[in-house]
Structure formats: structure tokens, C-alpha cells
Structure 1
Amino acid sequence: MRKTKIIATLGPASANEVSIRNLMLAGANVFRLNFSHGSHDIHEASIGFIDKLNDELGMHVATLADLSGPKIRTGEVAGDSMMLIPGEEITFTIHNELCAHRTISVNYQGFALDVRPGEDILIDDGKLLLKVISSNETDQVIAKVVQGGLLTSRKGVNLPKTVLRLPSLSEKDLKDLDFIMTRNIQWVALSFVRSAADIEQLRKRIQAYSVKNPPRIIAKIEKPEAVQQAEAIINASDAIMIARGDLGVEIPQEQVPVIQKKFVRLSVAASKPVIVATQMMEGMITGMRPTRAEVSDVANSVMDGADALMLSGETSVGLYPVETVETMSRIISDVENSEVAYQDISHLENQERRISDSIIMAACDLARKVNARALIAMTNTGYSAFRIASHRTAAGIFIFSDNPKLLKSLSLVWGVTGTHFARFINTDTAMFDMRKSLISRGFVSKGDYIIYISSIPIGQPGKTNMLKLSTI
């Protein structure tokens, strides 16, 4: 049973009921809605398909809303494209006009105030590089083309050496958040996080909606400031996404692999899910097979201990979205079946949950000693699920809850299989019913060791105080 989860981004190639069904059956655990593209009507339809198919197929596939964030973009280009030639000088303007005749417009009003002579301007994921010559500090910047090429409309702009005064949430993000908070969405990702304060600001806005079971927050790591404040951002967030595309433009790309491993290690230590994203299977956007390097990238991310791997263009605009998920699933399963040894990570202590954490750690240690087939827990908040998963044991993790939205959110978490369960009468009855459920679905069989983790009395949030080793 595959433990590392797969996130599939929906887009023109896949945002329809047939494709979503096929992606779910192929192994997608989470669907990402990219709010940088697509209208609310398109996203509404996708959410409807996901909810309908979850009910129909008896699954708990999660929905992740990815906010655009304060992304700087170029304007529309006259004639669809313009050539930037090395050595020529280009004028950047904050005014809304067509890009043409050595003039490029950008959508950030503070652009001329923030950039400084000598700083780099990178466009289109670093394909175009310009060096700032001067700024009038109001509405114009003069820059020289260092690495030229073709510029098309609305390309992303990165300023890796510039301290930006952009807000963490744009006006578009706030409108999108209004939409998200009234829909069945379990996770929301914040782009271009620079500090823990960005996460705290989003959390306060989410809390202000006063909805039951609000979406959990994913911090996207794609700025050098976020790398410098890794621990604080992890502590403030519910999960982490290592967004290697923009990160590899904002910092020297040779540093990305080490940063990926650092964030995985720190996130697992904090019992926070961690996602590795961008260009995992890029070759399958147009081809039926990934490159050998892409296969190794997926395998290494699994061995690093990532909770989930994310597909972007591969499933949103690619020619083979279903085949890509199937291929990634096979690679993950093969690595996990090779008995990969996950790095032993010391977990951060939570004094308020010391008893619960100690029980969970003991249960996971016991699972390794007896080669248990299943770790079984009931949860109201998801805390036990996140904590058990962070120990990365070989045992299956089976979480029972009466909260459907929580079960969907756990589809992002390493190794967790969620089951809707409402018969929390007493501990003995619950354990009998959970055991019966796992046997009937073929997850455990005669002779298997299983470990229960629960609270006595039953149903007390944050009061896990019991473990029981049993055999089928």
C-alpha cells in the first residue's frame, strides 16, 4: 500500500468529471486548484466533481486551493511576443500599457521604489535576465539585457536580491479566499511566504470567517527569506510545500536539493506534512515516459521522507495526465517496497501533549519491534494522525473519525488511510468494530499484529493515553 501521497493539479487537460475520476482511480490523493489560472466557475465545477466522485467511489480525496500570492508579472505583449537582445536597454514601467519598443510593463506599483542599481530582474522562470541600471523611484526602471530571448505576455518576474514591500495577500487573494471559505476545501496554500507573520495573517483572516473545520494552511517555500526563517514558518504552518520552481530562480539553483532535504527533515521533526513540488515529471507533459533523471528525482524525494509529491503542468495541461499519475505511483511503490530506511529524526517536544506524544512514540517503536501490520487510531482533531505519520514506520496507519472533512485533509499525510466511523460507544466496542472493518477490506489478516492507540475515556481530544498490542 503506497504511503507517499500524490497531488495532481487540475487544469484544461483534466478539469472534467471523466478525467478526475480516472485520476482518482490512478492514485491521486489530493487535487490542487491553481488560483493563478482559471475562473471561480471553473474551480466550482471541479470541486463539485471531486465531491460527487468521493461519495460515489467511497474515497476521501482532498482539495487544495493554491492562492496566487503577490506575484509580479509582465503585461500583455504587442503582437504576442517581443525579442530581448543582449546588451540593449529596456525600460520597465508600472503603467498598464502594452509591452513593445523596448518597454515592459509590470503589475507592481512599488517596482521602481524597491529595485536598486546592480540588482537582477529575472523573467519567465529565469529564462530572461536583466541587470538594473537606474530607477527614478516612482514609475520607471532602466535595465540592461544580460540573457535575452523571446518575451510573451504575462510572464512571472523574480527579483532575488530585492527586498520587496509587497503584502503577503493580494486583493485577488482576498477575493479568492472569500470563495474558498464557502466551499468544501481542506487545504489552502499561501504563495511567496517570507515570514511566520504571513502565515499568522492568513490564519487570522480564515478564523474571522467562523466556519467549522476551516482549511489548514500550507506555506510555500519559494523565497530566500523563507529559507532563512525555516523553523518559525514551519511552526506557524500546518504543512510545508517546497516549491522548487520559483525557489530555484530566487536562489542559486544548486542550493535547492540541500534546502529540500533540510525542510523535509525539519517538517517531519515538527510532525508537519511536507510536499515536494515542481518539475517532478516534466517530460511527461508531452511524452509517454519520464526521463531517468525525473525517475531519480521522484525516488529521492520519497527517500527524503516527503509526505506528498506534486504534479503541476503534467496533469493540468499535459497530454498524459492519468498516465503520469500511474507512473509516479509505480515509482513510489517500487521505492517503498525496497524497504527504504528513513532517516531517524528527533521529534520536537510538545509539553502540552507530552502524554499523547509518549504513547504514540511507544506505539511506533513497538510496531517496529513486532513488525506490526497496522497502527490504528481514532481522532477528533487529526493530531494523532500527523504525529504517528511523522515516525515513518512500515506499519499501515489507519485513522478512524466521524469528521469527513478531516478525513479528506488526512489524504495529504504520509501513510494515512482514513475511514469514516461514527460508533464511538466505548473503547472495547470501537476497537472490535475497527478491527472488523480492516479485516473485511483486506488490510489485515490472520496472524498479523495490530496496535491500537486511543484514549480512556473514549473521544477525549488531546488525551491519548492508551496503546494495545493485539493479533488477528
Structure 2
Amino acid sequence: MSQSPPASVASSTANQSEPAKQAMSAYRHTKIIATLGPATDSKEKLTELIHAGVDVVRLNMAHGTGQWVREIVARVREVSDEIDRHVGVMIDVKGPEIRTGPVDQPFVLGIGDTLRLCVNESELTDDVASVTVNYPNLPRDVEVGATVLVDSGLMRMKVLSKSASRIDCEVMTPGSIGSRRHINLPGVEISLPALTEKDKLDLQAGVEAGIDFVALSFVRQASDVDELRAYLDELGSPARIIAKIEEQAGVRNMLAIIRAADAVMVARGDLGIEIDYQRLPLVQTELVQACQAEGKPVIIATHLLESMIESPIPTRAEISDVCNAVREQADAVMLSGETTTGAYPIESVETLKSILLTIEPSVSSQLNQRIQLHEPKAKMLRSSATLAQDLGQSGIVVFTRSGFLAYVLGALRPRGVPIFAFTDVESTFRQMLLPWGVEPFLMEFSDDPEVTIQGALERLRNNKWCPSGVWLGVITNALADDKIIDTLQLRQVP
């Protein structure tokens, strides 16, 4: 039996990212993710943001509450329904963090000074600059001589000595210590849970609101992803998991993590602190290529257009950075501060979109050769991508309830070929907004496959995605001698 789409989106034509304005030859493959904040979470700004071309919105729970999630997700859905352009919603849980405790007044430390990090308040002293930390195992996990980075890497220290409840560090880079400063321990295997109690409460609120993706911070090993998946299953959520790689352990275990997750985010903020900064571009490329080999979406995040927080135009270096992500063929690029607190959030999205549309046509049209396709149906998808590219001004139509076909096609990277993915499952519809090149549509499926195919082709024509007469590759099932077989058909838009 076919499943009817929910009433709230039954009339939706598609995720219409400017179908009337985008010729098939100018189709944008790389997706745009924007983080919501004070600059963009009003109804008016959300409308502008979605109109500008955002495909997925991110909710950063390091600065959010469960109530905020409920309100924002409802507002996003309301705006999407009103303008008939739907976006996915990602909740980015805070994850385990090591931070300093509160201080009455920030204090300044110079090179050679000593800072004492204490796991108990009783260890605080007036003799030596000291502050508490929220990680009880800190003295156990770090060794004398190890590097400790404070305030997102702005202050570098070296461990001089330690006891069961404190460590003394020599300041190598001067700076000031305020309340709740972030601590990084490069190369140290920390023993913190993958999910904190705050994360679980935030996830409960997110699942109730109907989130589509969960980004898990500081993923160190595949079991972290498994723990989150088990919790989502317990909550009855179909949300897909995005593993954020932002520390050395995650880089070392990248292959297992990629296989366990549904997608990966190259979180370059903390990652650039955890590893030698000059290695960051190499690690980014390695992660992108590993995701492409496994057929998993990959997101490039942090500092893409950082200067546009205060400036109406990006720097030349930022433009080159975005170009590099496009040429590496990442699935999505993500804005953070640019759209949370920046002065030019809509301009940032427009700028990002302009760069993507300009650079994508220069990328090689060769299909992804790294991906290993084992199933015959997956190999048929590669044939459909080759066929559509050979036809020119063509596309691929798939019908899917799980999203599998769309994700594989996106992973194949058929540049210049729109992937029109039809589903009758609302959660799948929005989850297909992330992979490269996929344009999802929500429509009711008929028991008669031919009726479903004709309905899809008419939808593409009526909404100006494809003009009449265009040839499309269609992946669908057919009945032959009472057996259902997979087929690749060549169909012309009526």
C-alpha cells in the first residue's frame, strides 16, 4: 500500500530552490546549511533565509534550550509551509566538554607563570593562580609535559606536575582566564560520555519537535555514534546522525566513525586546535575522500565566511576556501557565526550560493571512483548517472521510502545531473535535503507504478524543473511474470 503524505505537507510541490530561475544546466549540487541565532530566528528572517537558498538549518545547543528548540522548529515548519519551500532541521548537541569553572574576575597570566587546574574547590589557593575544571579525571589522563590549550587554543600551557586532584601548568602563551573557558587536550583520550544529561534532555525536546538530523559533537570512536543511535531508537526518532570530527581521536578512528554514522561534519574550529593547524587542509581532504569512498555525506564547517559577521563582503581567502570545498565535492558547506549573530546573514547565504554556482561547473564531471558499490541495484544507479550525463540536459528520477537510492546517487557525484528523489515519507523527504545534488519531492505513491511515474514527470514539468521533451533516467520497479524487478527506464517529460 502506498502511504499518503501528512496533511501539513500534502500540497507541497517540492523543495523548490528557485526552480523557475534555475535552468538544469545551472543546477546547484552543493547544499547550504545555516545556523540559527538572534540574527535569523525571527519569522521574517527565517523567510528570507529559506528564500535565499538554505537547505538545512542548524540549532546549536551549546547556546540553546529545549523550549527554544520546540519554538524554533515549529517556526521553521510554519515558514516552510507558507512559502512552499522546505528545509531540514539539524540539532547540534553540545557533547562532552572540558571547561574551567567560574572566577570572580578574569586574571591575566604571562609567559612562565603557573596556572593550577583543580578538580576540587578545596585545592584552590591564593598562592598560585588557580581555577576549577569540570573534568574529575584530568590529573589521571594527562601526563607531565603534555600540552593543555585554554580558551579555544588562545593560551598554550605545558603540564609541570600533577597530583590526584590537580595539575600545575606553565604558561607558554600569555592571556587572561575568565569563567568557563574551553580546554583542549590534544592527543589525550578523555574518558567522558558521548552524551551528557543536557544532551539527552535537548534530544528529547528535538525529537518531540520533529528534528531530521542530530550532529554529535567530539566523536572519538564509532561506539559514540552507536550510543546516540540507541538513544534515538529509544525515543522513536528516525533522525539521521552526523558525526562531528573535531579532535585527534576522531581523526585516528575516522573510517569506523564514518561507517557507523549517516554523515560526517569536518568541524574545523576545534579540529584546528587539536591538530597542527598546517595539517588541517590535509585532514579535511582525507575526511572528504574517506566519506566519498563510503558513500556518506560530508559537511565542511566553521569560518567559511567568518569576516561576513561584520563585513558585507568576504575576503579573497574565504572565497578560495569555499571554492576548495566545492572542488573537493563536499556535500554541504555550513555557516555558523555568519548567520547566528552576524550583521549580514542573508548576504552571507547569497554570497555562498553565488560562489557555489560559479565554481561547480568547473569541477570534473567524472563520477566518484572511490565508492565501492556492491549491490546490483547500486551499480545500476551508476549506469543511470552515466546515461544522464551522456544525454546532456537530463536528470535522474528515483522513488524511495528509505532515501537509500538518493544518498547513493548523490555519493556518485554526477555533476550537471539533477537527482529528483520522490518519496511518500515525510521524514525521508527532509533527510534527502542534505546529500549532494538531490532534490526531494513529497508525493503520494500509487499502487500502479505507471501512475506514480507519470505523476512525478508532470510534477517536474509543472513546477518548471524540466521542460517538456527532456529525457530522464527513471529508476523504478516493474512487474514481470509476477516478479518485481528493478529497472532503469528512459522517459520523456510529457
Please indicate the TM-score interval, normalised by the length of the shorter structure.
over 0.9
Aligned counterparts of 2:485 and 2:137: Cα–Cα separation in 1? 51
2:156 corresponds in structure 1 to 129
Q: 2:298 aligns with which of 261, 271, 274?
A: 274
Distance 1:451 1:341, change over 3 A: closer
**Aligned pair 1:433/2:458, yes or no?**
no
Aligned counterparts of 1:342 and 1:300: Cα–Cα separation in 2? 17
Q: 1:43 aligns with which of 69, 88, 95?
A: 69
2:115 corresponds in structure 1 to 90
Q: 1:201 aligns with which of 203, 224, 227?
A: 227
Kept after mapping to 2: 8 A contact 1:276/1:308: yes
Kept after mapping to 2: 8 A contact 1:245/1:278: yes
1:337 corresponds in structure 2 to 361
Kept after mapping to 1: 8 A contact 2:367/2:412: no
2:15 corresponds in structure 1 to none
**Aligned pair 1:116/2:140, yes or no?**
no
Aligned counterparts of 1:185 and 1:58: Cα–Cα separation in 2? 18
Superposed counterparts of 1:199-348, under 5 Å: 199-211=225-237, 214-341=238-365, 344-348=368-372
Shift of 1:265: 1.4
SS at match of 2:153: coil
Corresponding letter in the other structure for 1:67: V
Aligned counterparts of 1:96 and 1:5: Cα–Cα separation in 2? 47
Q: 1:64 aligns with which of 62, 69, 90?
A: 90
Aligned counterparts of 2:129 and 2:366: Cα–Cα separation in 1? 53
Q: 2:419 aligns with which of 397, 420, 426?
A: 397
Corresponding letter in the other structure for 1:165: S
2:34 corresponds in structure 1 to 8
Shift of 1:113: 1.9
**Greater RCO, CA 8 A, separation 6+:** 2
Corresponding letter in the other structure for 1:455: N
SS at match of 2:209: coil
The superposition leaves residues 295-333 of structure 1 with CA deviations (integer Å, 9 ceiling, x where unpaired) of 000111011011100111111111111111111011111
Shift of 1:180: 2.1
Kept after mapping to 1: 8 A contact 2:338/2:345: yes
Aligned counterparts of 1:95 and 1:424: Cα–Cα separation in 2? 65
Corresponding letter in the other structure for 2:382: M
Shift of 1:96: 5.7
Q: CA RMSD in A?
A: 1.9
1:192 corresponds in structure 2 to 218
SS at match of 1:445: coil
Corresponding letter in the other structure for 1:205: Y
Shift of 1:29: 0.8
1:374 corresponds in structure 2 to 395
Shift of 1:31: 0.7
Aligned counterparts of 1:106 and 1:99: Cα–Cα separation in 2? 14
Kept after mapping to 2: 8 A contact 1:13/1:319: yes
The superposition leaves residues 149-178 of structure 1 with CA deviations (integer Å, 9 ceiling, x where unpaired) of 133332211000322111111222122222
Corresponding letter in the other structure for 1:198: D
Corresponding letter in the other structure for 2:89: T
Distance 1:247 1:400, change over 3 A: same
Aligned counterparts of 1:179 and 1:246: Cα–Cα separation in 2? 26
Aligned counterparts of 1:344 and 1:382: Cα–Cα separation in 2? 19
Q: TM-score, normalised by structure 2?
A: 0.89
Distance 1:453 1:67, change over 3 A: same
Distance 1:424 1:304, change over 3 A: same
Aligned counterparts of 2:230 and 2:479: Cα–Cα separation in 1? 33
SS at match of 1:126: coil
Aligned counterparts of 1:336 and 1:389: Cα–Cα separation in 2? 15
The superposition leaves residues 69-128 of structure 1 with CA deviations (integer Å, 9 ceiling, x where unpaired) of 11111222323x321211101111123699997112211121122111101111122111
Aligned counterparts of 2:263 and 2:187: Cα–Cα separation in 1? 27
Distance 1:464 1:23, change over 3 A: farther
Q: TM-score, normalised by structure 1?
A: 0.94
Corresponding letter in the other structure for 2:467: S
Shift of 1:457: 4.8
Kept after mapping to 2: 8 A contact 1:88/1:145: yes
Kept after mapping to 2: 8 A contact 1:77/1:99: no
2:20 corresponds in structure 1 to none
Aligned counterparts of 1:238 and 1:372: Cα–Cα separation in 2? 31
Kept after mapping to 1: 8 A contact 2:433/2:439: yes
SS at match of 1:454: strand
Corresponding letter in the other structure for 2:173: Q
Aligned counterparts of 1:429 and 1:341: Cα–Cα separation in 2? 33
Distance 1:464 1:369, change over 3 A: farther
Corresponding letter in the other structure for 1:120: T
Aligned counterparts of 2:384 and 2:234: Cα–Cα separation in 1? 38
Shift of 1:372: 4.6
Sequence identity (%):
34
